[in-house]
């Protein structure tokens, strides 16, 4: 387990997480379903059908016209999910979320993970490893839930 990564995650402020428990649950479910099938999930697929609470007002993200606030909210919730799942599972399942244009994590996500000291070496190696671990973990969860 990367203790420095956890320490850095725990130092972060997650201003949108407390008001968006339902969105967090929906994000986790979508990530789990995509991982169980061995797939990836675009940011647009992730937010589709999810209502967020921002300043006590509900908001649905228009994926054709992402606003800066949309990116902040989604980033905040994904960072919070990363903290929860890394502490519990020692993996970063949010790594299966990618940009539609090229199928890779956003540059913002890559920079954030570097700044949080999630990995040493090359990001590509970290990403491939985390995607593999995520798929393996959630496929195992699915098999166990089916009694296999």
Model confidence over 37-59: pLDDT tens digits? 999 999 999 999 999 999 889 99
**CB-CB contact of 49 with 106 (8 Å):** no
**CB-CB contact of 35 with 93 (8 Å):** yes
| Residue numbers of the domain that contains 116 | 3-136
* Number of folded domains that form the chain: 1
- Rounded to whole angstroms, what are the CA distances from 143 to 25, 37, 136, 137? 21, 12, 11, 10
Among residues 99, 138, 130, 100, the alpha carbon closest in space to that of 113 is found at 130
- The answer to whether residue 59 sits within a structural domain is yes
- The answer to whether residue 144 sits within a structural domain is no
Model confidence over 58-94: pLDDT tens digits? 999 988 898 999 999 999 999 999 999 999 999 999 9
């Amino acid at each position: 387990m990367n203790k420095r990564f956890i320490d850095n995650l725990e130092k972060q402020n997650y201003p949108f997480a407390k008001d968006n428990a339902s969105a967090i649950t929906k994000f986790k479910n979508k990530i789990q379903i995509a991982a169980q099938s061995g797939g990836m999930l675009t940011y647009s697929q992730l937010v589709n059908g999810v209502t967020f609470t921002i300043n006590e007002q509900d908001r649905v993200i228009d994926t054709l016209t992402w606003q800066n606030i949309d990116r902040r909210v989604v980033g905040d919730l994904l960072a919070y999910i990363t903290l929860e799942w890394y502490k519990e599972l020692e993996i970063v399942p949010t790594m299966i979320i990618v940009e539609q244009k090229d199928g890779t994590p956003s540059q913002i996500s890559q920079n954030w993970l570097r700044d949080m000291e999630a990995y040493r070496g090359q990001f590509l190696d970290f990403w491939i490893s985390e995607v593999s671990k995520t798929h393996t973990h959630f496929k195992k969860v699915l098999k166990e839930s089916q009694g296999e």
